[in-house]
Amino acid sequence: MPYTADLTGDQAVRSYAADVADTDGLRTAIKTAIDELGAPEVLVYNAALLQPASPTDGDDHGWLNAFAVNVLGAKVAAETVLPTVRGHASLLFTGGGLADQPSPEWASLSVGKAALRSYAQTLAAELEGTDVRATVVTINGGIGGGQERFEPAVLAKAYLDLHHEPAAAWTAELRRD
């Protein structure tokens, strides 16, 4: 994958290709990563299908594919890693401002991010009382769009800080507006 070369540090970096709309392929890629690297401590689901779509565009297939990427892939990823996690773990789902302020030009993404927020909240409720926490990180802006709060390194630190929050202080939804 092209981004692995950009990552540096003490850890080895591996990439696993998957089409998140292909649920079987996604499960296989995640299971392969777990087999090779061990149980994850953090899952970051940061996928979205960015395609213009109106509420009445007649493109049923496009809407199904958008839902598969924006929501169903998150569910599959969570279900696949949950049986393997041990101890403190975090499932972090990247949402977007379109969940709050839907756009008729980006209707399928707006609906998908709203559904993802609901999914993360219902998952968090299901996991309550365990050492695994789930939340949505709502980013209301373009990543790397020139504003410091949306720069990848700043966002990565926010995700890491969220994972390290004590259970009593856990943030139900982290917002970057």
Domain ranges in the chain are 41-176
What is the CATH number assigned to the segment(s) 41-176? 3.40.50.720
Work out the end-to-end distance of the chain between its first and last CA atoms, rounded to an integer number of angstroms: 30
Min mean pLDDT across 21-35, 37-51, 113-127, 136-150 is at: 136-150
Element of type H or E holding 93: strand 89-96
Res 2: pLDDT: 53
Write down the pTM of the prediction: 0.92
Residues 111-155 have pLDDT tens digits of 999 999 999 999 999 999 999 999 999 988 777 777 777 788 888
Please state, in angstroms and rounded to a whole number, the distance separating the CA atoms of residues 139 and 157.
14
177 CB neighbour count, 10 Å cutoff: 9
What is the rounded (10 degree) CA torsion for 160, 17, 143, 101? -100
Surface-to-core class of residue 162, CB atoms within 10 Å of its CB (0-12 exposed, 13-18 middle, 19+ buried): middle
With 70 as the cut, is the pLDDT of residue 76 above it?
Answer: yes
